[in-house]
Chain A
Amino acid sequence: MTILIWIIQLFFVPVISPLIIGVIKKIKAKFQNRQGSSIFQFYKDLWKLMYKDEVVSKDASWIFLYAPFIIFTVTIAVGASIPLFASFLNGPTSDLLVIVYIMAISTFFLSLAGMDTGSAFGGFGSSREMTISALAEGGLIFSLLTVALVSSSTNVFIISGINILTHSQHLLSIMLAFIGFFIILLAETTRFPFDNPSTHLELTMIHEAMILEYSGKRLALMEWASANKLIIFIALGSNLFFPLGIAQNISWLALVIGIIVFLLKILFFSTIIAILESSVAKFRFFRLPDLLITSFILNVIAIVLIN
């Protein structure tokens, strides 16, 4: 049975992730008084892209060709090593620093792939992406460190196993750290107010600029990986800061509840992101560091408040 749970754990992220993109798009469409596409549209898009031929730039090297596989691999590996619906699966790659730095591999190759074709869009996308992710790293590590200190372990499964909300004396720290984490979530998953995921050819675009030269299968993998990354961050945010309903032991009932609760959490987070994207304007690029530094400072305050 443990093997079965591991298989569910491994495939959960890539299977569910296109759905969230659909849900967020649907909610945004409702806000704009549109019918919107079906919430399963992203699955169809992936399928369509997989079966198309590809165009690759003649300037590209193997970095461009293999980056989508590396990035997708990273999201699968990280998705399998974080708590999704069960907290008892103790993965050996579940240390928070390991997770943060493995995700940095995908940022590294994404940015290199953006530069590889020699297009001006890709280069500037990479430059912006690296600027944001360099500044986001401090906030990310520190917000996860806050919950790690409260539960005195840096293993994300152990953190999710201890219901930190019962440590009522640390509630303020945890909430501050969560706000900090949420800002990082928006930055790392290229959402408003950091980036606009639904536009192309805007002067300010970041993620879409880097993957502009991709087509076919590789574009599908890039888009899919970015959806996986969104679900990874939602899982970290919901299961480390609010570990309610997560399965604590091996029983079918607990697991089913765990999966349902996790899906509800995802829905909740997608709704918040969709509301945010419908109500906030994108920030000017040089105002983004302020937001990221705010996140970092909130986390520092949270850590100081723990003792």
Chain B
Amino acid sequence: MLEIITPSVSFFVLLSIFFIGAISSLIYQKNDSIANFLSSFFSIIGSLCGLFFSVSMIIYGKNLSFIINYPYSSFFKISFHIDLLSAFFIFIISLISLFCSIYGVGYLKHFYKKYSIGVFGFFYNLLIGSLLLVVTASNGIFFLIAWEIMSISSYFLVVYDRYDTDNIKAGFLYLIMTYVGTVFIILSFLFIYKYIGSFEFIDIKSGISLIPLSIKNNIFIFTIIGFGTKAGIIPFHIWLPAAHPAAPSHVSALMSGVMIKTGVYMMIRLFVDILQPIPVWWGILILIIGSISSLLGVLYALTEHDIKRLLAFHSIENIGIILLGLGSALIFYSLNMPELALLGLMASLFHTLNHAIFKSLLFLSAGSVINEMHTRNIEEYGGIIKYMPQTAMFFLIGSMAISALPPFNGFFSEWLTYQALFQGVAQLNLSFQGIFIIAASSLAFTGGLALTCFVKAFGIIFLARPRSTKVSSIKESPLSMRIGMGFLALMSILFGLFSGYTSRLLEKIGKDLSIFKDTNYFTSASFYQGIDIKNSFASVSAPIIFVVLIIIIFAVIFIFTFVINKNQKIKIENTWGCGLNLNKRAEITATGFARSIILVFKGILKPSIQNEVEYHDADSRYLPKSRVITIHVKNIYNYYFYQPLRNIINIISLKTKNIQSGNINAYISYIFISLIIALLSVL
């Protein structure tokens, strides 16, 4: 089939499906259910086509580029270049948007009659389409246009639930941060244009030696700020925990699973592909950013009791882990160790895919719970596993995958990241070794803390007794939502089971980049053997872990249920509460659960505890009637970085206001002075 339809045509068909979906749902916005059907139908069909397109691209290993010339401008061309890296990101986008769209069919129903579904469908399809454009565009200006469509359509999705003023605020913060990021991206493209004279990525790559090193370093800093803001690295992360909770859940899944990955895509595209060769400190900086983001991301997640904010902070953590792989790849390549660099790149690509899967799974299952409970505060949940058993199962799988527990997919990408870092520790000299030790230790602590955080999240949301009366009236989510989550949970298991085969394909994708053309593999992978690191340093085999665990668990359950004391009686009784009646106040809260670990890290988190006591008799103050304890974590980024920045901008604005006197004579003199300056500078 691929031979009959030329790939470029099929790519345009793919884009036009999302476009038709966007327009048609806008046209039928009068009727909510038709608009929902159209928007979901076209996004599902489009995602399926995208999956088919990207998989065939990766399997056939073809590259594809085509240009539509725009006659009125020399530097703006609509040019696409789809290599295997782009195809891989198309795969991630289509995979996640497929299941999010299926989920959306049922999820959107509770917005009926409240908001316009047609408008939602328009921006939703536009977002997916623009994501595809971003990862395929091969011209700076065209890329920026696609990037802007992506930012704006996602902004409108963030503020979709517009009756809540918090959402409007969150959207505004997102808009500001994304524009600050875009300014830096534009600056870096302008710098490149000044020296190369073209916005075409191919021209930039071939003429990269024309850019002097100092300018290249500036470009690096600008792109790190620009794309890092989108990816959510610390300290540019502040929009993520605000914007993700505001958006509808499947949009949060799409944003957290896919959209922030476009930042990672561009970092890989620029640093690994276009701007090579690069100095070694770029990689070191990325590795340090990765360590900080992963460790601080998970620590802030621990302090949260808003389920979506908690997940948003975990996105920051996982972007950090992805950057650990990428940073080690860049360092290895600069130190002329391309085999190890390929290993690092593989690790970061694999984690990008895995994070997209389990994070969207977690957002979707959190969304199902929020949909029933109408609150995001996990202190009001509890015992939901009895009312929503399937959602609980999906959330459990997501939690285990994100905590890197084998045999789920998260483990295998973290394993690869560990191997890249261990090789750095083993093979480099002392100064670089230190950096890799920091990175590996932050990954190790991140793993433990993420486990803690998801014990907290799963335990407080789903286990024990309900903590509010609302819980007793909830029911399992509709079928389409369960299908969306179920398939993602299945993906999480399958990409774990087939991690050997997947890493084989990832190597192929890595080798498609020009710097790895002649690189030997550092790993060998197959289905049964799993992934092997050369020199027999390490190996892991997913199918064997699966089989071993499953056989032993069935044997254990069989022996201890049906062989030993099989006539055992089980009595159902109350939980022992020291003779008291247990109510919801006897249970541990999310705040209480995380309190000890917050206190351990109090140097970083700066918690403040507020203690409000109300007494029976305000004069004697012996018998407290009620106590409210609130633990706050100080937002040090706001306090030390954004607040001073805002103050400075305010001061400058106030000062510049002085020149705007309202006096026409003064304005004419400004024109005169600037004219003279212009003349002098020309002469």
Could you tell me which A residues sit within 8 Å of B by CB distance? Answer: 50-59, 61-63, 66, 69-70, 72-74, 76-77, 80-81, 92-93, 95, 97-98, 101-102, 104-105, 107-108, 111-112, 115-120, 122-124, 126-128, 130-131, 133-138, 141-142, 145, 148-149, 152-155, 158, 212-213, 216-217, 221, 285-286, 289, 296, 300, 303-304, 307
What residue of chain A has the Cβ atom nearest to residue B560's Cβ?
A217
A213 to B568, CA, bound (A): 17
Residues of chain A contacted by B548 (CB below 8 angstroms) = 77, 80-81, 93
Q: Is the CB of A105 within 8 A of B448?
A: no
B538 is an interface residue with CB less than 8 A from chain A: yes
Contact code string B554-587 (vs A, CB < 8 Å = 1, else 0): 0011001000110011111111110000100011
Besides A58-B575, A115-B464, 10 more A-B contacts (Cβ < 8 Å) are A52-B568, A53-B571, A57-B572, A63-B385, A76-B556, A123-B593, A130-B456, A138-B448, A153-B538, A155-B538
Q: Is the CB of B540 within 8 A of A117?
A: no
Whether A61 contacts B463 by the Cβ 8 Å rule is yes
B383 at the interface (CB under 8 A from A): yes
Please name 22 pairs of A and B residues whose Cβ atoms are closer than 8 Å in the assembled complex, sorted by A: A53-B570, A56-B571, A56-B572, A77-B548, A92-B539, A95-B540, A98-B545, A105-B400, A108-B454, A111-B455, A118-B464, A120-B587, A123-B588, A124-B588, A126-B459, A127-B588, A127-B594, A130-B593, A130-B597, A131-B596, A131-B600, A137-B447
A137 (CB) vs chain B CBs: closest residue: B448
* Contacting residue for A77 out of B400, B549, B593, CB 8 A: B549
In whole angstroms, what is the CA distance A216 to B571 when docked? 11
User: For window 425-481 of chain B, which residues contact chain A by CB distance below 8 Å?
Assistant: 425-426, 429-430, 433-434, 437, 440-441, 444-445, 447-449, 451-452, 454-456, 458-460, 462-465
The complex places the Cα of A119 from the Cα of B574 at a distance, in Å, of 10
Q: Decide if A116 touches B464 in the complex (CB within 8 Å).
A: yes
Of the candidates B433, B539, B575, the one whose C-beta lies within 8 Å of that of A95 is B539
- Asked whether B568 lies within 8 Å of A131 as measured between CB atoms, the reply is no
Q: Return A158 CB to nearest CB of chain B, in Å.
A: 8
Q: Contact at B597–A138, with CB atoms within 8 Å?
A: no
- Contact between chains at A130 and B451 (CB < 8 Å): yes
Given known contacts A76-B552, A307-B429, A134 and B445 CB-to-CB distance under 8 angstroms: yes
User: Closest chain B residue to A113 by CB distance?
Assistant: B463
Whether B537 sits at the interface, judged by CB under 8 Å, is yes
Given known A53-B569, A154-B422, A307-B433, contact A119–B545 (CB-CB < 8 A): no
A118 contacts B587, C-beta separation under 8 Å: yes
Distance in angstroms from A287 CB to nearest chain B CB is: 11
Complex Cα–Cα for A300 and B437 (A):
8
- Interface-centre pick from B445, B460, B530, B535 (highest chain A CB count, 10 A): B445
Majority-rule SS of B interface residues: helix
Q: Is A77 touching B418 in the complex (CB atoms < 8 A)? A: no
Shortest C-beta distance, A15 to chain B (Å), equals 14
The total of chain B residues at the interface (CB under 8 A) is 80
Segment 624-650 of B: residues with Cβ below 8 Å from A: none
CB distance from B490 to the nearest CB of A (A): 20
Q: How far is the CA of A132 from the CA of B539 in the complex (A)?
A: 29
Question: Known contacts A55-B571, A104-B405, A304-B433; is A77 also within 8 Å of B448 by CB?
Answer: no
Complex CA distance for A128 and B595, rounded to whole angstroms: 10
Q: Nearest residue in A to B452 (C-beta to C-beta)?
A: A130
A104 to B541, CA, bound (A): 18
Q: Which residue of B lies closest to A119 (CB)?
A: B575
> Is B536 interfacial (CB 8 A cutoff)?
yes
Contacts of B540 in A (CB 8 A): 95, 97-98
- Tell me the complex Cα distance, A128–B597, Å: 8
CA distance A217 to B569 in the complex (A): 11
Closest A residue to B598 using CB positions: A131
The answer to whether residues A155 and B539 also contact, given A112-B463, A115-B459, A115-B463 and a CB cut-off of 8 A, is yes
Q: How many Å lie between the Cα of A61 and that of B449 in the bound state?
A: 25
Tell me the bound Cα distance from A41 to B386 in angstroms.
39
The answer to whether B403 has its CB under 8 Å from any CB of chain A is yes
Query: Hey, which bits of chain B sit against chain A, CB under 8 A?
Result: 382-383, 385-386, 400, 403-406, 411, 415, 418, 422, 425-426, 429-430, 433-434, 437, 440-441, 444-445, 447-449, 451-452, 454-456, 458-460, 462-465, 530, 535-541, 544-545, 548-549, 552-553, 556-557, 560, 564-565, 568-577, 582, 586-588, 592-597, 599-600
CA distance A137 to B556 in the complex (A): 27
With contact pairs A50-B565, A152-B537 given, residues A77 and B455 touching in the complex (Cβ less than 8 Å): no
CA distance A133 to B597 in the complex (A): 11
Given A97-B418, A217-B564 in contact, is the A136-B463 Cβ separation under 8 Å?
Answer: no
Contact of B452 with A53 in the complex, beta carbons under 8 Å: no
Determine the chain B residues whose CB is within 8 A of the CB of A52 once the complex forms: 568
* A154 nearest CB across to chain B (Å): 4
Complex Cα spacing A141 to B541, Å: 19
Majority secondary structure, A binding face: helix
Q: A118-B464, A303-B437 are in contact. Are A135 and B406 (CB under 8 A)?
A: no
Whether the pair B600, A120 counts as a contact (CB closer than 8 A) is no
Shortest beta-carbon distance, A6 to chain B, in Å?
12
- Determine whether the beta carbon of A213 is less than 8 Å from that of B599: no
Candidates B582, B593, B596; contact of A119 at CB < 8 Å: B582
Q: Are A53 and B537 in contact (CB under 8 A)?
A: no
Contact between chains at A50 and B564 (CB < 8 Å): yes
Contact, CB under 8 Å: A152 / B452: no
Q: How far is the CA of A52 from the CA of B569 in the complex (A)?
A: 8
Complex Cα spacing A95 to B538, Å: 6
Are the C-beta atoms of B441 and A142 separated by less than 8 Å?
yes
Closest to B535 in A: A152
A94 to B437, CA, bound (A): 23
A residues near B458, Cβ cutoff 8 Å: 112
- Residues on the A chain within 8 Å of B418, using CB: 97
Docked complex Cα distance between A145 and B557 (Å):
34
B544–A92 CB distance below 8 A: yes
Contact of B571 among A54, A135, A304, A307 (CB under 8 A): A54
In the bound assembly, the distance between CA atoms of A250 and B404 in angstroms comes to: 36
Given A77-B549, A134-B451: A212 touches B576 (CB 8 Å cut-off): yes
- Is the pair B549, A73 in contact by a Cβ cutoff of 8 Å? yes
Q: How far is the CA of A307 from the CA of B463 in the complex (A)?
A: 48
User: Contact at A133–B448, with CB atoms within 8 Å?
Assistant: yes
Which B residues are CB-close (under 8 A) to A80?
548
- Neighbouring B residues of A77 by C-beta, 8 Å: 548-549, 552
Q: Which of B386, B426, B449, B568 contacts A149 (CB 8 A)?
A: B426
* Min CB gap B380→A, angstroms: 15
CA distance A213 to B582 in the complex (A): 14
State whether B553 touches A73 (Cβ < 8 A).
Answer: yes
**CB-based contact B459/A108 at 8 Å:** no
Cβ-closest chain B residue relative to A212: B576
Chain A residues contacting B587 (CB-CB under 8 Å) are: 118-120, 123
A134 contacts which of B437, B449, B568, B570 (Cβ < 8 Å)?
B449
Chain A residues with Cβ under 8 A from B536's Cβ? 153, 155, 158
Min distance, Cβ B228 to any Cβ of chain A, angstroms: 26
**CB-CB < 8 A to A152: which residues of B?**
426, 535, 537
List residues of chain A with CB within 8 A of the CB of B571: 53-56
Please give, as numbers and ranges, the residues of chain B lying within 8 Å of A59 by CB-CB distance: 383, 464-465, 575
